A and B are shown apart, each in its own frame.
Chain A
């Protein structure tokens, strides 16, 4: 066991970890931050996406010791300072971009990374970017719509409801 420190959502945190401990497990088990979800064991589903030093990362693909000292942001740190939903989170609610909510943390984190890189993506760019995040509930329709809306684009022409 080694002590690992890092910044998570602006707060300095530390905990014990083995060499094999993944960032996803450290967040959930070590820090008790259960907003980051684990939906597979082959780094395919994207439910565990967080930002490490501003980059979207599947947190099941990195050993926590390798990102010691990093600046990590998780779904728990995505709301506005006053606790209200951020633009992306609000767009997901407004456009019904989530159902069971399990893939949602990863979707929101990936969407945030996309919009940082590409502030007004096309539908096809959104679909391509989110290809690494699997959702089983929504059929993606309202997720893509929510991301386009969060980018400030008019989505009123995209299939009603």
Chain B
């Protein structure tokens, strides 16, 4: 049994009490005396030339302080991109300017043109109606293939809509092509990975504040990574040095990737507060979020799998068009490349893999990472093409996967796509899944469904992801313009309680509970003696924040490293107080003992001595007990698992109902099983949402057709079942101190292909054998059309 409140315990979350009683402190709950309100006027057309902006009438309206346009932002940098991708020809990607407010041209519906700042929000909104904007609409380009074949230019100055043309592994291209020529069987699948909108329930908010006498800026923002915002906005946009810029991300209501990026609104309120010498607040409406938050996925892909006569995978070839939208969001270029191409080996021994990705500018909202980011796209292609191959060859999709798995004794495993998997056991998760989902009883259930006139199907998908992002030296070589370490300061107080300042950030993940569990386990004090502080650049060391399932694997490791420094120093103090050799000091259960004696000092004896150093080796050691550590991982972590979905299709309507969903994951060691299961549940709902409900659609003019919760189908309570999740097949990570791998994205990565495979299985069992693929979301109309089309 795990220690109560220690590693492995399903400790209840401490943060829940404030959230359940209405005492959470989200950014929109922050109101600063004297604050003004900003209302953004956004483009209603997808592409156009700005002829005139007349703000005079608006500025004369009640309460209006100023109407800003790009003219007020001359000398301000563009919104930067944090990753540079190099094309196959060795040229860097095309990187057009992304101004804070539109300069001369608008490039997507929602592109900000002007901002009204007024005493009240209603006054700002009213005055926005009086701002006269004259735009000559230009033809928009929405379709990616049209965009690269002579469509209208999104950015005239760069002369092309092709951002980059990336090949990976370029040196393997000829060998892959050769393997396809020699293959006994080739399966080809054209598919769409549908565009999604992250839609965390809290819309984005930014509040800028400025202190004239000191030149100190403060930005309160809904961010997953306040330090990254400070760096990007301070260094590249507004030229504010770090010591004059504090960024605070308090309670944040979900992110799922969409709150990683530096957004124009953050730079706007920060600058406007300085210009107006009053705090400026912007709160996004949901309608604005639909056209201003970075969106996710949107790949057009041809995937091909080559097999030999024994059904061994011999090569994989992927050709993808990836939509960047109108501008490059912070991490957009790396998603379809380094977070996608490197995952195409999946759980399999495929010796040769080649990916070509063309990233394309279109007159649509920018696209960036969304839960999983690149890895769901890789997994979907791979797990769909394997199922399709199994069907073409008349073999079991379960056995075809099993035959091609990387074997448990092959780890560490060098894939043909650069990454080295440290541990894993894919057979174990598959067996666990088949057991938990009662696969043996499937045929009987299918017969029972058939008797009721329904078609039942089972879909399997395996996944692997690269998490714990990331070794800085490696990502630097791949084009990252940041390091991807994490930091922690562990401050032990005089009476033994501990405050941890982490560069990681929680926006639902429960760090305040789980990080305290780790410290409690290491030192042996009660978890209630440990507080976790995050989200404020003024009190924590430079951190990179939370995304890519990295918090515990990287942020937790930094905290463990700092805590080990604390323990080492505390042992020296204990040795001094007990007149013993440091090597003989043991720390267990919050007590320091000397091996082989009955001497003992409590944790508090030591912490007090550190701060009241009357009897203390001052000549060799500083007083105090506070340590900072930075942890830079030596490899990614590789969570993996097997997901199974059982569906019933109504042949009369095409409606798909999920009857059960089972997830068998390998996350390595687990600190709080309750929280880990919750992360998987949430990921599954998002993956099921992508597979069955969600679809972000622009018409040919670039107008967003799915621009509200009435048009964009978010999964609701009655759309999903109870899930069965398991993480007992653990192969701990070999290179971080906790042996953890990360669990935040798995559910969203593994579930879409499981759902679609299940629907296809149901149709085939029902005799609709002509249906080889249905693009997501598998809505009733799409399923019915596929059956009868």
Contact = CB atoms under 8 A, between A and B. Distances in A.
A141 B708 contact: no
B26 A44 contact: no
Contacts of A37: 26, 201-202, 253
Contacts of A40: 286, 708-709
Given A40-B709, A100-B253, A108-B20, A133 B26 contact: no
A3 interface: no
Interface in A114-161: 123-124, 126-128, 130-145, 158-161
Interface in B684-740: 684-686, 708-710, 714-718, 720, 722-725
B122 interface: yes
B209 interface: no
Interface in A27-57: 28, 32-42, 44-45, 47
Nearest to A77: B22
B442 interface: no
Interface string B10-43: 1011011111111111101101000000000000
Contact of A39 (B22, B286, B510, B724): B286
B509 interface: yes
Contacts of A36: 22
A18 B673 CA distance: 49
A131 B715 CA distance: 9
B16 A42 contact: no
A136 B203 contact: no
A65 interface: no
Contacts of B709: 40, 42, 44-45, 134
A126 B510 CA distance: 26
Nearest to A147: B717
A44 to B, nearest CB: 4
Contacts of B681: 138-142
A136 B20 contact: no
A64 B716 CA distance: 28
A139 B687 CA distance: 10
Contact of B19 (A101, A123, A144): A101
Contact of A101 (B508, B710, B717): B508
A41 B201 CA distance: 12
B256 A99 contact: no
B563 to A, nearest CB: 26
A41 B203 CA distance: 11
Contact size class for A?
35 or more
A35 B674 contact: no
A74 interface: yes
B722 A141 contact: yes
B682 A99 contact: yes
Interface residues of B, number: 62
B747 interface: yes
B199 interface: yes
A108 B202 CA distance: 17
B747 A139 contact: yes
B7 to A, nearest CB: 15
A19 to B, nearest CB: 11
Contacts of A39: 201-203, 253, 286
Contacts of A41: 285-287, 708
Contact of A136 (B199, B285, B710, B747): B199
Contacts of A102: 24, 26, 200-202, 253-254
Given A35-B21, A136-B254, A159-B723, 6 more contacts: A36-B22, A39-B203, A79-B21, A101-B508, A139-B682, A139-B686
Interface of B: 10, 12-13, 15-26, 28-29, 31, 122, 199-203, 251-254, 256, 285-287, 507-510, 673-678, 681-686, 708-710, 714-718, 720, 722-725, 747
16 contacts: A35-B22, A76-B23, A92-B16, A93-B12, A96-B678, A98-B20, A100-B19, A100-B200, A104-B19, A130-B718, A132-B716, A136-B199, A139-B747, A141-B681, A160-B677, A161-B676
Closest 4 CB pairs of A and B: A35-B22, A101-B19, A102-B253, A139-B685
